[in-house]
């Protein structure tokens, strides 16, 4: 599985909601951030939260969230 960046968000809860939608639709995804595992959310605001998806499912993820 090769992970590619799908979207980037400034707000952790928004990124988590997107991640949940992807998971509930069978898309392998994870969230990356530099907020020290949620201990310092202000770092996430600066650096953002990246949603990474399996490259093979990228098009499917884009279609899902375009609706």
Could you tell me which of 38, 36, 43 has the C-alpha nearest to residue 13? 38
Mind listing the pLDDT tens digit for each residue in 41-62?
Answer: 555 455 789 999 999 999 999 9
CATH number of the domain encompassing residue 24: 3.30.70.1530
Mean pLDDT of 20-43: 79
Mean pLDDT of the chain: 86
Answer with the residue of higher pLDDT: 10 or 14. Answer: 14
Could you tell me which of 67, 45, 65 has the C-alpha nearest to residue 57? 65
Residue 33, pLDDT score: 83
Task: Please tell me the total count of domains within the chain.
Answer: 1
Residue 67, pLDDT score: 73
Question: What range does the domain containing 62 cover?
Answer: 3-66
pTM: 0.79
HEC readout, the chain: CCEEEEEEECCHHHHHHHHHHHHHCCCCEEEEECCCCCCCHHHHHHHCEEEEEEHHHHHHHHHHHHC
């Amino acid at each position: 599985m090769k992970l590619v960046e799908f979207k980037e968000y400034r707000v952790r809860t928004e990124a988590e909601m997107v991640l949940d939608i992807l998971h509930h639709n069978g898309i392998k995804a994870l969230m990356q951030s530099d907020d020290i595992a949620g201990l310092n959310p202000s770092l996430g605001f600066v650096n953002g939260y990246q949603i990474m998806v399996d490259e093979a499912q990228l098009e499917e993820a884009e279609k899902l969230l375009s609706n």
